[in-house]
Amino acid sequence: MWKASFLKNEDIVVQFLFIIILQKSLIENIYLKKVDKWSILNPIVEAFMIDQKLKALLEGVKEEVTILSLSTAFLYHELCDVNWLGFYYSKNNQLYLGPFQGLPACIEIPYGKGACGRVARSKEPLIIADTHEAANYIACHSETRSEMVLPIIIDDALYAILDIDSVSINRFSEEDKQHLLACTYVIAASIKSI
Ligand code: SME
């Protein structure tokens, strides 16, 4: 009886020591950067913050071209698996290439033509899951396999579209769309505030 209860206590002591050693090792690994404690949480936090970070970046900027250029550089480097990101601005029912990141692209797109032209007309976001399967699509870069196009609306009128391309099929999710829509609102508000 006594022996058994002693063994029980010993078990608890061993378990306690084991937990201490485990915690010590985890803390050491975090400090030594062997384990990144944010590695799982970070992408989620980052995605939620993307529009807020963009807003901070554009704070006080007073030139349209600077707002658009800063936005492309920021978003292009913030997003993973993107090969082209840029604006086409709207003028006389036509889209014209604006600031962008990536290879040179088509310079003019009529309303209704391609993914960008369709969004210019509908003023609704569009996700192309597979460019090879898409009808009414303009292939500026053959390596692009999926695409997301978002309208930038100022006072109910189309100001520009934001086009984001990827070499991966089905790169853009509904969640991506929501986060990037929030970014387009920030861009529209920045331009309106000039
Ligand atoms: N694919 C677009 C044209 C623009 S480029 O992808 C940069 C479209 O179908 O409108």
- What are the tens digits of pLDDT across the range 50-103? 999 999 999 999 999 999 999 999 999 999 999 999 999 999 999 999 999 999
Phi and psi for 98 in degrees, rounded to 5? -115, -160
So what CATH class is 49-192? alpha beta
Every domain of the chain and the residues it spans? 2-35, 49-192
CA-nearest residue, atom 7 of ligand 1: 105
Q: Which atom of ligand 1 is nearest to the CA of 136?
A: 9
Per-residue confidence at 20, pLDDT binned at 50, 70, 90? low
State yes or no: pLDDT of 2 exceeds 80: no
Per-residue confidence at 45, pLDDT binned at 50, 70, 90? low
CA-nearest residue, atom 6 of ligand 1: 140
Spatial distance between the Cα atoms of 133 and 46, rounded to a whole number of angstroms: 32
User: Please, what sign has the CA dihedral across residues 38, 43, 44, 50?
Assistant: positive
pLDDT of residue 133: 98
Is 164 a pocket residue for ligand 1 (Cβ < 6 Å)? Answer: no
- The reported pTM is 0.79
Residue-wise pLDDT tens digits, 150-170: 999 999 999 999 999 999 999
117 CA to middle of ligand 1, Å? 9
Phi and psi for 36 in degrees, rounded to 5? -95, 105
Q: What percent of the chain has pLDDT over 70?
A: 75
85 CA to middle of ligand 1, Å? 10
